[in-house]
Amino acid sequence: MTTKTMTPTLDAVSPDRRPRRLRRTESIRTLVRETVVRPEDLIYPLFVVPNTRPKVEIGSMPGVWQLRVREVVDEARRAYDLGIRALLLFGLPEYKDGIGSASWDPAGPVQSAIEAIKRAVPQITVMADVCLCEYTDHGHCGVIVDHNGTKDVDNDQTLPLLAKQAVSFAAAGADFVAPSDMMDGRVAAIREALDDASLTDVGIMAYSAKYASGFYGPFREAAESAPQFGDRRSYQMDPANVREALREMELDVEEGADMIMVKPALSYLDVIRAARDNFDLPVAAYNVSGEYSMVKAAAERGWIDGPRVMNEILTSIKRAGADLIITYHALEFAEKQG
C-alpha cells in the first residue's frame, strides 16, 4: 500500500520572515532605510540681539540662546563644520515702534550678523525672517489700524514695510528672505522690491502655510514678540484647513516664491505631504519652538529618550515630504551624526 505524501505549503511551514530579516541588525536596518535625515537637510534658526545686550539662554528652550553678532558668527562656524548649510536669522532690535522701523536699519542686529557671517563663513546660506512682530511695540506682524473700534492689521499698509525690510536684509548679503507675516500679496511685493534694487539673485522662502498655532509660545519668549492685545488668527491660518493652505501655496508660487514652507511641522504632516504632492518647488517645514520644548521638557524629566524622539520627529517630517527642516535641534542632531 502506497501512502500519498502531501507537500506542505510555505504558509503551513512558517510565516513569511522577509520583513523581520530586514530588521535584524542595525547594519541591515541602515542598509534598507527609506528615509534618511542629513545635517544638510536642516536649517538652523538663531536669535540675534544688539551687542549692548548679554548672551541669554531662553528659559523655555534649553540650549537655545539670544546671541550677539560675534556669538552668532561662532555658531555659524560650528554649524558649517558639522555639515549644516543654512541659517535662519531673527532679530531683536534696540528699539520698537508702531511700524517696526528698526527692521530696516542697516546697522540692525540681523543686518550686522549677515555681514559678519558672510565674511567669516562665506559658503553658508543665510536666510533672514521678514516680519514686523519682533520690531513693533504692539507685537503684531503689520501696521495696526482701528476699524470701528476694533484694532486690526492693515494688509496693504504693511506690504511696503515688509518689502523695505527684505531689501535691507538682502542688501546686507542675505541669500534668501523668508516672509512669515501672512499678509496677502507680500511675496509679489518683496519680489518686485528686490528686483527694483538689482537684488535679483536673492531668493524668497515663503511661509506659505503658517497656522495660528499654540506651539509658538516659547518662540515669543525668544523673540520678545508676544502680541500686546488680541491674537494673530485674523491673518494666520486656521489649523483645521488644508485646502486653504494649498491655495496660499499656489498664490505664493505664482507671485515668485522660490521655496514654500509649512509651519508648524509635527501637527501638520498631512499639509507637508499635500505640499509635496502638489508643487515642484522645494518644500520646507518648521519644527517650531513648542515642538522642541516639549521634547526637552519630557527628556529632562526622564519620561522619554530625548535624542531618540528628536530623530523620530525629524524623520517623520522628512518622510512626510519636506526637503528642508528648520529646527532648533539642528546643532544637536548634526553633532550626534558626527
Q: Give the pTM.
A: 0.92
Q: What is the pLDDT of residue 257?
A: 98
- How far is CA 28 from each of CA 19, 134, 276, 304, 331, rounded to the nearest angstrom? 11, 48, 29, 26, 27
As annotated, the active-site residues are: 210, 263
Q: pLDDT value at position 137?
A: 86
Closest CA to 190 of 130, 140, 104, 237: 130
Residue 8: predicted pLDDT: 53
Q: Rounded to an integer, what distance in angstroms lies between the CA atom of residue 317 and that of residue 272?
A: 8
Q: What is the pLDDT of residues 275-301, one digit of tens each?
A: 999 999 999 999 999 999 999 999 999
Give the model confidence (pLDDT) of 168-181 as tens digits. 999 999 999 999 99
* Whole-angstrom distance, CA of residue 64 vs CA of residue 51: 18
Q: Phi and psi dihedrals of 163, rounded to 5? A: -65, -40
CATH class, domain 37-337, is alpha beta
- For β-strands 150-154 and 143-147, DSSP reports them as antiparallel
Check residue 188 and give its pLDDT: 98
Angle at 325 between CA 112 and CA 337, to 5 degrees: 95
